[in-house]
């Protein structure tokens, strides 16, 4: 088995392709373990599909499956283009629906699934939150102090709403975002669907325009926008290494 390690703006993934579709939750836990495995936020398995360029199985580091991952979608597209699984323009099937992507060198743009507002103006801990599904559910709160992220509060909200938890800060025409991700059960350096959810809420409330830069905890630059269909999400993707494994 050939495994590739990818990083997409601080989110890291183990990726491989195969013809066999099966439950790989235990494999995900083993490969993603930071001390005893490769170490990653998630595992992406690329599989053939009759209609689309491919489909994926996506696992969080705890072995749970996720319907969608924004940064993962860009890493998967880069992997597919560079392994002759798809051309530089592709569409692939996720648990959240079909994703379109374009690869231009190490810059990858993906069109995320259309956002769905689950609930507005949730009042928790004297803060106002939106609950938005951008492929997976996200709680979003805009704060005046992005440097303070109450992880215990985020953990409680994640359990109560079964959602990722984001705080965001408007910085000029752009925004900064920090995310607590379910499945990882901690803050990650970047979360694509989380950034998309924050951008969507800010755009809906006229806090930002239709094309902005977003900075996650990794401080790398992502580019988000809206088109006639959905939210677009663009940024750099890096192949970290490739390894051959006799057994896992």
Query: Is it the case that residue 78 has pLDDT exceeding 80?
Result: yes
pTM above 0.85, yes or no: yes
Which pLDDT value is given to residue 10? Answer: 83
Give the DSSP H/E element, type plus range, for residue 131: strand 127-133
What is the per-residue DSSP string for 49-66? -SSSSEEEEEEETTS-B-
Q: How far is 210 from 227, CA to CA, in rounded Å? A: 9
Alpha helices in 98-179 (DSSP H): 151-161
Q: Rounded to 10 degrees, what is the CA torsion of 160, 162, 164, 166?
A: -30
Q: What are phi and psi of 130, to 5 degrees?
A: -105, 145
Tokens of 73: 């979608």
- Kindly give, in sequence order, each residue whose CB lies less than 8 Å from that of residue 98, ignoring residues fewer than 6 positions away: 52, 91, 92
> Rg of the Cα trace of the chain?
17
Which pLDDT value is given to residue 77? Answer: 97
Q: What are phi and psi of 88, to 5 degrees?
A: -70, -20
Q: How far is 2 from 16, CA to CA, in rounded Å? A: 7
Average pLDDT over residues 82-103: 95
Catalytic residue status for 69: yes
- Whether residue 41 contacts residue 32, with contact meaning beta carbons closer than 8 Å, is answered with yes
Task: Give how far the C-alpha of residue 60 lies from the chain's centroid of Cα atoms, to the nearest Å.
Answer: 11
Average pLDDT over residues 26-49: 95
Tokens of 150: 């109450």
- 191-229 pLDDT per residue, tens: 999 999 999 999 999 999 999 999 999 999 999 999 988
- 142-175 pLDDT per residue, tens: 999 999 999 999 999 999 999 999 999 999 999 9
* Catalytic choice (32, 69, 198, 245): 69
CB atoms within 10 A of CB 73: 30
- For residue 247, name the pLDDT band (cuts at 50, 70, 90): low
- Whether residue 239 contacts residue 13, with contact meaning beta carbons closer than 8 Å, is answered with no
- Kindly give, in sequence order, each residue whose CB lies less than 8 Å from that of residue 106, ignoring residues fewer than 6 positions away: 78, 236, 237, 238
Closest CA to 72 of 168, 195, 176, 162: 195
Q: How far is 90 from 110, CA to CA, in rounded Å? A: 9
- 141-150 pLDDT per residue, tens: 999 999 999 9
């Amino acid at each position: 088995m050939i495994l590739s390690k990818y990083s997409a703006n601080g989110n890291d993934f183990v990726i491989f392709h195969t013809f066999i579709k099966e439950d790989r939750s235990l494999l995900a836990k083993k490969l993603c373990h930071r001390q005893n495995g490769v170490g990653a936020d998630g595992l992406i398995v690329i599989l053939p599909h009759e209609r689309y360029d491919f489909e994926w199985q996506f696992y969080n580091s705890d072995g749970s499956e996720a319907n969608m991952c924004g940064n993962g979608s860009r890493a998967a597209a880069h992997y597919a283009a560079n392994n002759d699984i798809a051309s530089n323009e592709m569409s692939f099937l996720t648990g959240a629906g079909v994703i379109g992507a374009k690869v231009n060198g190490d810059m990858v743009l993906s069109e995320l699934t259309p956002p769905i507002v689950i609930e507005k103006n949730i009042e928790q801990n004297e803060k106002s939150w939106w609950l938005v599904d951008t492929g997976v559910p996200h709680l979003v709160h805009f704060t005046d102090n992005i440097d303070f992220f109450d992880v215990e509060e985020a953990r409680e909200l994640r359990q109560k709403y079964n959602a990722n938890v984001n705080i965001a800060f408007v910085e000029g025409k752009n925004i900064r975002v920090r995310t607590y991700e379910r499945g990882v059960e901690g803050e990650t350096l970047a979360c694509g669907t989380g950034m998309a959810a924050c951008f969507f809420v800010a755009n809906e409330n006229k806090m930002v325009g239709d094309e902005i830069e977003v900075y996650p905890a990794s401080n790398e630059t992502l580019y988000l926008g809206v088109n006639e269909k959905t939210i677009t999400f663009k940024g750099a993707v890096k192949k970290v290494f490739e390894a051959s494994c006799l057994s896992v």
